[in-house]
Amino acid sequence: MSYGYIGSMKAKPGYRDDVVDILLSGADGLRTVGCDLYVVSVSDTDDDTIWVSEVWQSKEKHDASLQLPETRAAIGKAMPMLTGEFTSQEVTVVGGLGV
């Protein structure tokens, strides 16, 4: 079964959309390294929280992607705009619609 990751990050006030842009800019390239789904969303209940729901062919492919130069560059760009408040869930994707 696929590996799933569900996480949130809090942007500093006024920076949420800049972080979203960074996340989206790399999304298309993830398919070639084993990502099947990368959904970027913003909270409907506060102005700063970003949610990412991901499905990968394996945890190994997910973890390896974090070492890619373009991913490290994106993380480096986004970090100063984030408060450091994260939540994360690692899950096993069982199935559904669209996966």
Residue 64 engages its own copies in binding (rule: CB under 8 A): no
Say how far residue 48 (Cα) sits from the centre of its chain. Answer: 15
Residue 94 engages its own copies in binding (rule: CB under 8 A): yes
Task: Give the range of 17-25, 60-68, 74-82 binding its own copies by CB under 8 A.
Answer: 17-25
Residue 40 engages its own copies in binding (rule: CB under 8 A): yes
Minimal distance, residue 31 CB to its own copies, in Å? 6
Residue 73 engages its own copies in binding (rule: CB under 8 A): no
Q: Residue 34: what residue type?
A: G
17: helix, coil or strand? helix
Q: Residue 20: what residue type?
A: V
Cβ neighbour number for residue 53 with a 10 Å cutoff: 15
Cα distance between residue 99 and residue 95, in whole Å? 6
Give me the residues that bind its own copies (CB under 8 A), please.
4, 6, 8, 20, 23-24, 27-28, 30-31, 35-45, 51-53, 55, 89-99
